[in-house]
Amino acid sequence: MKKISTIVIKSCVSIFFIFLVLRKVDFSQLAGILKNVSAPFLIWIFGLNYAITFFMALRWYFIVSDFKQKISFLDIWKLSLIGLYFNVLLPTGTGGDAVKIIYITRNQQEKLRLGTSVIFDRLIGSSTIVAMAIISLLSYERDLPARLTFSIALLLIFILLIWLLIFWNRLAIFTGRIFPHRIRQKLKAFYNHLRNYGINSRILFNAVSASIIVQILAIYVQYLAANLVSPGAGVSLPFQIFFIFIPIIWLSAIVPSLGGLGIREYGYFFFFTPYIGKDAAIAMSFLNLMLILSHAIAGGLIFLFFRPGRQNSQ
């Protein structure tokens, strides 16, 4: 009953934000924009979008490099796509991480260490995109809403706090005292694995390098999508704003909803309307949804036929 009520609440949130977007749509204008989309340009965007998954898998593969004799890169790539599939299928934007943990730890002895790799991978991704947002925010000359700047600043503080806990062991021990003893023991094992990943300079450098490529490519795809639906060459689209707006839109998937559906689309409408107009902004959100679904379809097909390659127990 509790699960059903949770899904109902999340569905209502998504429906509410979809309604907010749809009531602003001029469907004739939207259809005209989508009809005039360049097919070769669109194919190029989808191709780049799939290339991103390679570097996403590479980032995670660097993190689990100690297990490379037992887990192949191809399996990591497949699991990355399966995770994207479940991010769409499950009523949460992070449901894919849970599925990846289940698969990566199957028939393995060091289950917690491997499971922690998924969390660390998510941390690396979030850290690099927030860092890029801060750099873009500092270099962007036009005024932005104070709430946006404040939101990114809060994200930065949260990310820095996590890294401080990873690198400063004494602070982590002190913070852990607020938890009951039973929970503290479980968190200690998880923290030790997270810290071991974080203080390993080889893993950290390789994972961050791959993550920077992921984020730049992902933002570039969004930039191309905006230009694809833009009403004219006279529209100003500073590249920096994509590093500022897109992270906020992506992180909106954390809000209880059906995988961020509705909230994400409203984010595109809210942030990009001043630059390309409301109809083009909605068309951009629709195109982004197609990109997400294309990953999900590939992940769903892999999920149906996935068989681990070299995932043997240690």
3-state helix, strand, coil split of the chain in percent (to 5) is: 80, 0, 20
Residue given tokens 């559906």 in the structure block: 261
Assess contact for 78 and 306: CB atoms under 8 A: yes
- 246-261 mean pLDDT: 73
Q: What whole-number distance in Å separates Cα of residue 149 and Cα of residue 143?
A: 10
Q: pTM for this structure?
A: 0.83
Domains of the chain, by residue range, sit at 37-305
pLDDT band at 98 (very low <50, low <70, confident <90, very high): confident
Q: What whole-number distance in Å separates Cα of residue 227 and Cα of residue 121?
A: 30
The predicted pLDDT at position 150 comes to 75
Q: Cβ-count burial of 36 within 10 angstroms (0-12 exposed, 13-18 middle, 19+ buried)? A: exposed
pLDDT digits (tens, 9 = 90+) for 110-167: 888 999 999 999 999 989 988 888 887 777 656 666 766 777 788 888 888 888 988 8
Q: What whole-number distance in Å separates Cα of residue 21 and Cα of residue 313?
A: 49
Tell me, rounded to whole angstroms, the distance of Cα 78 from its chain centroid. 17
Q: What whole-number distance in Å separates Cα of residue 10 and Cα of residue 297?
A: 23
Q: Output the six-digit token pair for 71.
A: 């887990």
* Single-letter code of the amino acid located at 91: P
The predicted pLDDT at position 28 comes to 80
